[in-house]
Amino acid sequence: MLFITKKKYALYLIITLELLCIVVRILTYTDFISRGQTIPVSYNLSILIGMISLTWITYFLRSKRVKETFVKTDDMNLM
C-alpha cells in the first residue's frame, strides 16, 4: 500500500480499520441474534479474526517499535 507511509496518521488509519472490522463482526452477530437465526459454524472463524484484530490493535498501541516507526508528522519535510 503506497498511500500508507511512516507518518503518524498511518498508525491511526490502521487502528481505525481494525476497529471497523471488529464493529462489522459485532453487527453481523447482533443481526443473527435479532432475527432468531442460528449462527453458522463458519462464524467461529470470524470471531478468531476479530480476536486477531484486537491483538494487532494492542500491539500498535503498546509497541515501542511501532512508536519509533510511525513518528513523522504531515508537516515534516523529507530530505
Instruction: Quick: pLDDT tens for 1-54.
Output: 455 667 777 888 889 999 999 999 999 888 888 988 888 888 888 889 999 999
3-state secondary structure of 33: helix
Which residue carries 471497523 as its cell? 20
pTM over 0.85: no
Angle at 25 between CA 23 and CA 27, to 5 degrees: 70
